[in-house]
Amino acid sequence: MTQDSNKSPEQNRATELLQEAQRKGGITKFLTYARLSGPGWLQGAITLGGGSLAGSLYLGVIAGYGLLWLQPLAMICGIIMLSAIAYVTLSTEKAPFGLVNQHLSPALGWAWLIATVMANIVWCMPQFNLARAAVQQNLLPSVGEGTGSTLLICIVLLVVAFGANVLYESDGKGVKWFDRIIKCLVALIVLSFFAVVGTLISADVLNLGEVLGKLIPDPTLLFKPAASYAAIIAQSTQPDWWTAKILSDQRDIIITAFGTAVGINMTWLLPYSLLRKRWGRVQRGLSIFDLSVGLFIPFFLATTCVVLAAASQFHAKTGDVPPGAGDKTIAMLATAHPGATNAADQELALMLVKRDNFQLATSLEPLAGKVVSQTIFGLGVLGMALSTIIILMLMNGLAFQELLGKPGDKTAHYIGCTVSGLAGLAGPFIWTGASKAALAIPTSVIGGSLIPIAYFTFLLMMNSKKVLGDQRPEGTARLIWNVLMTFATGIATFGSVWVLSGKAHFNDWKGMIPAAGIALLIVLFVIGTIAFIKSEREA
């Protein structure tokens, strides 16, 4: 068996184990794949963050169990495209940023890089805010929520996350410990939410058998409110207004849940984490297994548990909502339709109030007790936030290496980590009000616009003879890849255009940004298509 001189003896040994397992198959292959997995767990750590938590929570609040299928479907689409990204990376054993710039268009490559850096910086802010809230509200409420305690918690988070990135950049045992830390954090998240749902089942609050059927997709819920609202909407003063309001809220929540399954920066992380482990063509099958075990299973289990818990406690209920919480919605109704409101209007407004993770934990306390509802749930939320902070800083480090033209340089990696980490540190102090909108809206639009472009780019690369040469899938394999990738890219494009078109207008800057996002989407699709045709003619 040949040895790769560019790899360490340990990496060559891992390749030999993999090849032997592939020959034997069965349980030996499964156990070896599980042992050698790694990059998929990094993907799992980044996707199980505050965005997924909020998306799952809001899905349960507004649609009950009806949209339980949405996030798994989003993740399946994401894994299809991530598998394609892995195939291209492992077949060429080259960084895709350079391949995109060389064989398609620098406009696509740099748009991908810039969107990744923006996402890493901006989305680090709510993760620090989520982590400090988990400590101050769930785990250690005695520390209070003052500025001093908040700053101290954030500094500890920054030091821990930066230290984990130092381990990633070290050789030998440091990298192994980094992998172990990530796997433990992902396991902590899943087990914590499992404990919460297990308690709800044992308390007869949740009948698991009744809700499992909701995992079968029902697209009609994209265009109508959940059945639980039908009777009370009929009793309201303005049924059409309430239907439109619920559908609008539902659309925003759906795209949040869908968009946080696989973000633009995750498409950047995977190829670089694969190259960092020096995987190659022999690991292509392992990479798909790795994504399934490290990404899909934890994501599916954790988000499903949160949807179940939120739906059981909040959907079409008002008992936990304080009087006056729905006043803003009632004011919107009064503005659109001046006149008296009735009790049904008031109740609908309360039903639609968004809840956060602290409110969910508090609502669970009478059923699950303080240990499960506050401590275990709080540990799960803290694990979500910390793992995401670590990976956001890691991704920014990898992106800065390309941004500064220094691939593999540790200093460039640490600069990127620091930029993202310091932005996150400021999160609890500036991630509010107008500042939150000013940061979140353009980043969400740019990231949401470019997810279909990232997918489309790798769809083109999987069909490129110039990029893949004799490693390009052919025959039936190529047909299957194209059907799956076209489906995933189509779903992502529909979702992006759907939400952007619903927010686009020219009355203020908030409406002009989504309009610009649609224009950017179209321009980059055209650039990519023309560049692909030109490149293949030269092949």
Given a cut of 70, whether residue 259 has pLDDT beyond it is no
Cβ neighbours of residue 267 closer than 8 Å, sequence gap 6 or more = 81, 82, 85, 112, 116, 451, 454, 455, 458
The pTM score is 0.86
State the pLDDT at residue 463.
92
Instruction: Calculate the average pLDDT of the chain.
Output: 84
- Residue range 116-145: mean pLDDT, rounded: 87
Given a cut of 50, whether residue 418 has pLDDT beyond it is yes
Of 228-242, 320-334, 355-369, 454-468, the one with minimum mean pLDDT is: 355-369
Instruction: Give yes or no for a contact between 150 and 430, defined as CB atoms under 8 angstroms apart.
Output: no
For tokens 């070896």, name the residue.
Answer: 32
Given a cut of 60, whether residue 188 has pLDDT beyond it is yes
Q: Cα separation of 426 and 215, whole Å? A: 39
Q: Considering the domain boundaries, does residue 18 fall inside one?
A: no
CA-based nearest residue to 1, from 26, 21, 20: 20
Given a cut of 80, whether residue 158 has pLDDT beyond it is yes
**What distances in angstroms separate CA 324 from CA 269, 287, 362, 525, one per listed residue?**
44, 51, 19, 47
- Residue range 159-177: mean pLDDT, rounded: 85
Given a cut of 60, whether residue 166 has pLDDT beyond it is yes
Q: Considering the domain boundaries, does residue 336 fall inside one?
A: no
- Residue range 185-197: mean pLDDT, rounded: 86
Given a cut of 50, whether residue 1 has pLDDT beyond it is no
CATH code of the domain in which 430 resides:
1.20.1740
Q: What is the pLDDT of residues 275-312, one digit of tens each?
A: 888 888 888 888 888 888 888 988 898 888 889 988 88
Q: Considering the domain boundaries, does residue 516 fall inside one?
A: yes
Q: Considering the domain boundaries, does residue 64 fall inside one?
A: yes
Given a cut of 50, whether residue 192 has pLDDT beyond it is yes
pLDDT band at 266 (very low <50, low <70, confident <90, very high): confident
**What distances in angstroms separate CA 499 from CA 103, 240, 322, 337, one per listed residue?**
31, 21, 31, 25
Q: Cα separation of 231 and 227, whole Å? A: 8
Q: How far is CA 120 from its chain centroid? A: 12
Six-digit token pair at 451? 């997810």
State the pLDDT at residue 234.
92
State the pLDDT at residue 2.
46
Q: What is the pLDDT of residues 210-230, one digit of tens each?
A: 788 888 888 887 788 888 899
Q: DSSP of 68-88, one letter per residue? A: TTHHHHHHHHHHHHHHHHHHH
Q: Considering the domain boundaries, does residue 393 fall inside one?
A: yes
Instruction: Give yes or no for a contact between 200 and 310, defined as CB atoms under 8 angstroms apart.
Output: no
Output 169 or 4, whichever has higher pLDDT. 169
- Residue range 66-94: mean pLDDT, rounded: 90
State the pLDDT at residue 204.
81
Name the domain count of the chain: 1
Q: Considering the domain boundaries, does residue 349 fall inside one?
A: no
Q: Considering the domain boundaries, does residue 331 fall inside one?
A: no
- Residue range 126-138: mean pLDDT, rounded: 88
Six-digit token pair at 523? 């321009």
pLDDT band at 5 (very low <50, low <70, confident <90, very high): low
Of 133-147, 219-233, 351-365, 503-517, the one with minimum mean pLDDT is: 503-517
Burial (CB count within 10 angstroms: exposed 0-12, middle 13-18, buried 19+), residue 518? middle
Domain with 234 in it? 41-320+355-538
State the pLDDT at residue 6.
57
State the pLDDT at residue 172.
67
Q: What is the pLDDT of residues 482-507, one digit of tens each?
A: 999 999 888 888 877 877 776 777 77
Output 50 or 135, whichever has higher pLDDT. 135
Q: What is the pLDDT of residues 12-62, one digit of tens each?
A: 676 777 777 677 667 877 777 777 777 888 888 888 887 788 888 888 888
Side-chain half-sphere exposure of 504, counting CA atoms within 13 A: 14
Given a cut of 60, whether residue 397 has pLDDT beyond it is yes
Q: What is the pLDDT of residues 306-338, one digit of tens each?
A: 899 888 888 888 888 887 888 888 888 888 888
Given a cut of 50, whether residue 422 has pLDDT beyond it is yes
State the pLDDT at residue 442.
60
Q: Considering the domain boundaries, does residue 483 fall inside one?
A: yes
3-class DSSP state of 222: helix
pLDDT band at 156 (very low <50, low <70, confident <90, very high): very high
Within the chain, what is the greatest distance between any pair of CA atoms?
Answer: 82
For tokens 């670089």, name the residue.
Answer: 272
Given a cut of 90, whether residue 157 has pLDDT beyond it is yes
3-class DSSP state of 186: helix
Six-digit token pair at 125? 């802010």
- What percent of the chain is predicted at pLDDT more than 90? 22
